[in-house]
Chains A and B, each alone.
Chain A
């Protein structure tokens, strides 16, 4: 696979400065014939340690930028890298095929799996086609139809979620955005097949949860999962949309936070600098997580699948008695 052009972020600038310097030294050494290998090597080592430090100590808002990176691998990328025999299944059977939600059957490591995901684009054209990964109620109803299908034929379900939220629009309200999500929450609770949800980028609010009442929840290292976008929280609570970075910190939305809070079952490691730097590697890591989770869940009876899902969500929350 060809190396994808990357778009760099503000906090990555120091890395680029060092990298340009290395390039300059290289061309200088080529032109003049002076041996600069030693200097280049030191600089490269410096760059490497700097990168390691930078990416392991990211601020929540910097992770946010990686999660929202325009070149971040999308659901379709993962499908092509993880599955064999993929067949997409279309439509909600009530007049719409919401392109923000894609679903279908494919094989992962030889086992059939129902894969459903929100689809973002890597270009403006793609983003328009898929509504920037923001489903309408019809998208949730299409997913529901596929949940039922998987349940009927005893096929495990995997959802891959990267969405800024359910679409806030006129028509979405008319056709019951809230009801579509609510109904999915209830129906997912009663599914009896193993169900794994993976937040790969943005996991915003009910829009993400509407596909994630599952037996296992995993987050990619730089992904986030939140009750409201940091910008939304900032404008309501902090009364200033520009305070999104403070809101992101206060709301505890990173993969690490979610693991600590007992919401996530594990974090999937990303290639250095983010998934967009090596889609094949991240697809491989996700695939391994799915296989491991499904292998664990396969031993449970249908009743146990339901029971453990109930108990999982039943525990969530903190109160004083």
Chain B
């Protein structure tokens, strides 16, 4: 074999590589992880591409995987209509906090891992033509914990929504308040609730979607302040964590405790929504809340129409 032949053969092989089906050649564990995802519920391996197409819902057993803020925008908002605001805000370290690690190092780690500036993305967009303000939490950034940045971005979003007179939708996915910012995190609950009090007075619609998982300070503030509460399927939602409760009351908790179904059973949410249905449900709800023509107006119009004839 000449050197030229050798190169030609190598080139051919390379071209063929893309045609090889995944099942044909043994893949390393890393490669498998890159292309496939194991379902937490049915344990079946699902091609990631397929999963993505299916809104990150397992096609086999309907299990809802956690999704990030960018995926949410893709799932819900009309194409290219999302306009992010306050993306530049970054977390500070008001207490000079350290535990097993410095808080500033944790922030950097979270940023390099997720490429997110913080645990929430806020902005304005359209859902099937309905203009709205949207705040989406991302669990991958420090467990979606709420610190000063989450509180500030959300408050600014609410204030801007009031100014623009548009409804608000939030999607919560959070372990609760961020301990590294101590009391300032707790006060974000008050701050966001004060802003929502203004929104409430202005009679603007607020729909809160509780996704896997929503706990602690988020549940005890804007999470449950929606005029309508939607629990996403498979979400776990609660105030105190399961372990803390078990330790306190010293009894075993039911297996479905703090699931979306459990909350629904006890009247804590309006509905449980499948992720694939979320956009339509929101759009329908906006439609039903549209300050459309009143019955009186309709009647008047009908009369005018007959008078004109």
Tell me the B97-146 residues at the A interface (CB within 8 Å): 97-100
* Contact, CB under 8 Å: A181 / B197: no
* Contact, CB under 8 Å: A210 / B95: no
* Contact, CB under 8 Å: B183 / A253: yes
Interface size on B, residues (CB 8 A): 63
* Contact, CB under 8 Å: B257 / A182: no
Stretch of B3-11, B213-221, B283-291, B298-306 that contacts chain A: B213-221
* Contact, CB under 8 Å: A213 / B193: yes
Partner of A169, one of B182, B196, B223, B245: B245
- Residue among B92, B187, B191, B268 with most chain A CB within 10 A: B187
A166 to B239, CA, bound (A): 9
* Contact, CB under 8 Å: A206 / B239: yes
A320 to B257, CA, bound (A): 39
Q: Is A45 an interface residue (CB 8 A)?
A: no
Partner of B197, one of A166, A187, A263: A187
* Contact, CB under 8 Å: A168 / B190: no
A55 to B89, CA, bound (A): 41
Stretch of A3-11, A112-120, A231-239 that contacts chain B: A231-239
A12 to B155, CA, bound (A): 46
Chain A residues, CB < 8 A from B198? 189, 310
* Contact, CB under 8 Å: B239 / A190: no
A84 to B91, CA, bound (A): 48
Chain A residues, CB < 8 A from B186? 205-206, 209, 225-227
A195 to B151, CA, bound (A): 23
**Chain A positions 160 through 186: 1 when the CB is less than 8 Å from some CB of chain B, otherwise 0:** 000000111110111111110111011
| Chain A residues in the interface with B (C-beta under 8 A) | 166-170, 172-179, 181-183, 185-187, 189-190, 205-206, 209-210, 212-213, 225-228, 232-233, 236-239, 246-247, 250-253, 257-258, 261, 263, 309-310, 313-314, 316-321
| Chain B residues in the interface with A (C-beta under 8 A) | 88-92, 94-95, 97-100, 147-149, 151-152, 155, 177-191, 193-198, 200-201, 216-217, 219-225, 238-241, 244-245, 248-249, 251, 253, 257-258, 266, 268
